[in-house]
């Protein structure tokens, strides 16, 4: 691993987006959200994706400077056509819009179609949590997930994020795929030359596979096979529950916005599919005084973290704690990047004439 000071990494990534023709504000948003993923240890959704974004931008499949079309609007709701714009920046702006509606009316929702990859869903849910609200964010993705008892992908990794605030910055922040893992995690294993664990995915016959490269190619060209739903294969471990959650995400993101869903959401070799998002914010004082809620939230989190761990493990975590601690460590040591990711990022920057930031081989 190498370590890069976060502000410098964000500046370099923003420079890449700007050199590709993305407006400065959208470039800064996009760089910040991607760097946040790496700072939290979520390598699958970090700056490694910039090369793919660059391909999509060059082909005109991802567009900067686009003003979304308002399809439907009420005091508490908004439905947008993103017109192929930058999903990262658009999503930040949309959650800000939802928060404004929630401040005025108690809650706000937004469903978006025809967008692009938006990074980590938790980033947007946490925006609401920092405003004394419960935040929810979802997106559908290219069809990579195989329904229970099927051998063909018919839903995406379709992540769900939910964030609720405690006192003094504490936060419950759940950000989960509705498949066993994300495609990005499989890409990490492929880059590192490792077999994927049993129970993650099935091949074109519907049987378990450990070959990440073959799996990625089969999913890209829709030959069959794909990722298993959360819970795994069959019914014994509740895989049908992950399957149901994935379809729920398609309903809120795509059916509510009139966008594409299921097997119709497709990737290309150059870029991610046009996808749909959903955002919601609920003011805490709809239910009780915010300080009372946050006090109980903190107590719940403390009680979870204080549970005795199983033999051979050191501690019990609650959703978001690992990522929060990793982000604090990244602020001290620098954002960790795999050497291969750094080399690709540096190559992209050099090709575009963007200054390359300084890095350290050790974070100490």
Q: Which whole number is the average pLDDT over 239-256?
A: 97
Q: Which whole number is the average pLDDT over 221-241?
A: 92
Question: For the chain, which domains are there?
Answer: 1-58+334-364 (1.10.1530.10), 66-286 (3.30.1370.60)
At 260, the pLDDT band (50, 70, 90 cuts) reads very high
User: CB of 339 within 8 A of CB of 1?
Assistant: yes
Q: Which residues contact 290 (CB under 8 A, 6 or more apart)?
A: 132, 284
Q: Which ranges in the chain belong to alpha helices (H)?
A: 6-19, 24-39, 50-58, 87-105, 122-129, 183-191, 212-220, 239-250, 290-305, 321-333, 339-351
pLDDT in tens, 339-362: 999 999 999 999 999 999 988 776
Has residue 270 got a pLDDT over 80?
A: no
């Amino acid at each position: 691993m190498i370590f890069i000071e976060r502000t410098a990494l964000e500046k370099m990534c923003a420079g890449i987006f700007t050199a590709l023709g993305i407006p400065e504000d959208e470039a800064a948003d996009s760089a910040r959200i991607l760097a946040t993923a790496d700072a939290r240890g979520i390598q699958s959704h970090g700056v490694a994706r910039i090369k793919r974004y660059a391909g999509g931008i060059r082909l005109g499949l991802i567009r900067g400077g686009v003003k979304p079309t308002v399809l439907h609007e009420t005091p508490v709701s908004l439905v947008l056509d993103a017109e192929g714009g930058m999903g990262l920046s658009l999503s930040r702006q949309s959650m800000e819009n939802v928060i404004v509606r929630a401040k005025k009316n108690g809650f706000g929702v937004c469903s978006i179609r025809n967008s692009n990859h938006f990074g980590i869903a938790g980033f947007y849910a946490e925006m609401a949590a920092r405003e004394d609200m419960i935040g929810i964010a979802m997106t559908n993705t290219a069809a990579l997930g195989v329904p229970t008892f099927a051998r063909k992908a018919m839903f995406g990794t379709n992540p769900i994020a939910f964030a609720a605030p405690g006192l003094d910055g504490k936060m419950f922040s759940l950000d989960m795929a509705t498949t066993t893992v994300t495609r990005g995690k499989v890409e990490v294993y492929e880059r590192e030359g490792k077999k994927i664990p049993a129970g993650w995915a099935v091949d074109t016959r519907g049987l378990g596979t450990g070959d990440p490269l073959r799996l990625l190619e089969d999913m890209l060209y829709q030959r069959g096979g794909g990722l298993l739903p959360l819970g795994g294969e069959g019914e014994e471990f509740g895989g049908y529950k992950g399957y149901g959650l994935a379809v729920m995400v398609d309903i809120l993101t795509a059916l509510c916005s009139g966008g594409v869903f299921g097997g119709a959401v497709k990737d290309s070799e150059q870029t991610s599919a046009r996808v749909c998002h959903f955002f919601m914010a609920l003011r805490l004082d709809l239910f009780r005084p915010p300080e009372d809620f946050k006090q109980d939230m903190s107590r719940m989190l403390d009680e979870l973290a204080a549970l005795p761990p199983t033999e051979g493990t050191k501690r019990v975590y609650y959703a978001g704690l690992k990522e929060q601690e990793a982000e604090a460590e990244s602020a001290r040591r620098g954002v960790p990047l795999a050497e291969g990711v750094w080399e690709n990022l540096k190559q992209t920057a050099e090709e575009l004439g963007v200054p390359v930031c300084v890095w350290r081989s050790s974070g100490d």
